Structure 1
Amino acid sequence: MTRNVLITGGNSGIGREMAAALAAGGDHVIIASRDLAKSQAAAEKIRAEHPEAEIEAMALDLGDFSDIDRFAEQIIQRMPVIDALILNAGLYTHGTRSLPNGLEAMIGIMHFGHFRLVQHLRPAIAAAESGRIVVTASLAHRLGRIRFPTFDQPRKHKLAVQAYAQAKLANILFTRELARRMADTRVAVNCFHPGAVATGLWHELPEVVRRMLGSVLIDAAEGADTGIWLARSDEAAGYRGEYFVKRQPAATSDTANDLDLAAKLWNETEARMPA
């Protein structure tokens, strides 16, 4: 039976590699990003490489709550059951900036945008026989701490790297709390660190983060491997709320293990959402 897979930020880097591997393996894949033309080109290239692949592209702006709402309504019509949701879209901005909705851009897209999307799609994922939610996190979370006032006051960050690290920490805390809240379902919620992947984002990151992530770059296919494994392997279905590196559960910072903070982050996020 064909599985339905939705990937955010699936038009380049590890997202593109995950999309290609899952589509080549027989899944029906939709890649969603703000740049629809780039996503359509990626889908066409994957189809050229794998003629039997079922893959398509849709537009989604994770920095705009109303667009997320629009997209979610459309995707549920297309995919009433979603077997795997891969929250992969990411960015690093040089200097902090605000989105039109007032949120700092990195946490606004990587955390708040994905949070809003999941709130809409949870029933479709829970309806799957073995649903998966996979979050692309990062070792850079170790540099982060959650500072709630910075969510809508970017200038409170002295450095953009603080905002990036906070957003990646939020990814892991979100994974923990979402797994707890979906514990009575068949959905496995986990996150992973892809490694030091040679993509455009790598070159945008500040030197301190590049040093932390590693001196040896890996290609995007290798970086995508753990995400693919989490999205489809029977073994991965047994894990809940874990952080993986190279298909193995890995240690995180103490802050990323703080379940009280994870619950507080969830509540603070909900409180900042429009009705």
Structure 2
Amino acid sequence: MSSLPAPSASVAAESPSSRRDGWRAHWRLFRRSRMALPGLLLFSVFVLAGLLAPVLAPWSPYDNDLANVMATPSAAHWFGTDELGRDIFTRILYGARISLVEGVVSVVIAAAIGVPVGLLSGYAGKRVDATIMRLVDVLMAFPGVLLAIVIISILGPSLTNAILAVAIYTVPIFARFARGQTLAVKEEPYIEACRAMGMSNLRLLARHVFPNIAATVMALATLRVGINILTCASLSFLGLGAQAPLPEWGAMLASSRTTLLIAPHLALFPGVAILLLVFGLNLFQDGLQVVLDPKSRGRS
């Protein structure tokens, strides 16, 4: 009776020890990027701040204290108070939750639409590819923020509409990226072998093409979360995103414009929060790309 090494190899590949070795290898690659760990730590701080805001916050983010308006930082109010006497530290904590939702949800929506479109375009080729890419080019011809402003002007200013608008203008970015990756993967010999074996196109895309581009798509998604947080904050600053009294960092910056000279701390802390969160995400993405994208390992 002939031996069957393939199944046993598959079982070994799925064993817990193999998975642990894989995680250790990924962790070693991640640590090769010098700024990746500080980026992960910084990002984790904001994630925990958003999740634990009700526990960590010493005050309510909405309660006004008109007897304590624009107070400077003190033991009672670590970051001071705003023009309505609300605790800025508390609003920063709750704002972390809103900013993370803005970035993550907009990227998830964009990837859920853009990646399948890019897969279809790159794999089908010819007329399908040409038609889809022309539509993508039309969307990419508009500056991102301008397209988001047009969409919000139609839908109306709100946090939900800002997230949707940013997601819509991010779709072409994921579509183009996924298409480029698919064009490279579909020329690999194993793809040709699968076609020769009679595997259907849908199964081929799901089992072989998408898993081979998922890592680089994830690295792009991490980068886009930071960019989309900045964009949503910009829309809120213009009055097109989150509306008062939501403690959104861009809206907090907008409300501090009139008091910038007499109470600069109103703008300082939300601005620093946006800077640190986006900076941490960019550093984390550098390390993640080293782990997920083999082509970048030689440059780390």
Shorter-normalised TM-score: what interval?
Answer: under 0.3
Q: Which has the higher helix share?
A: 2
Higher relative contact order (CA 8 A, sep 6+): 2
* Largest Rg, 1 or 2: 2
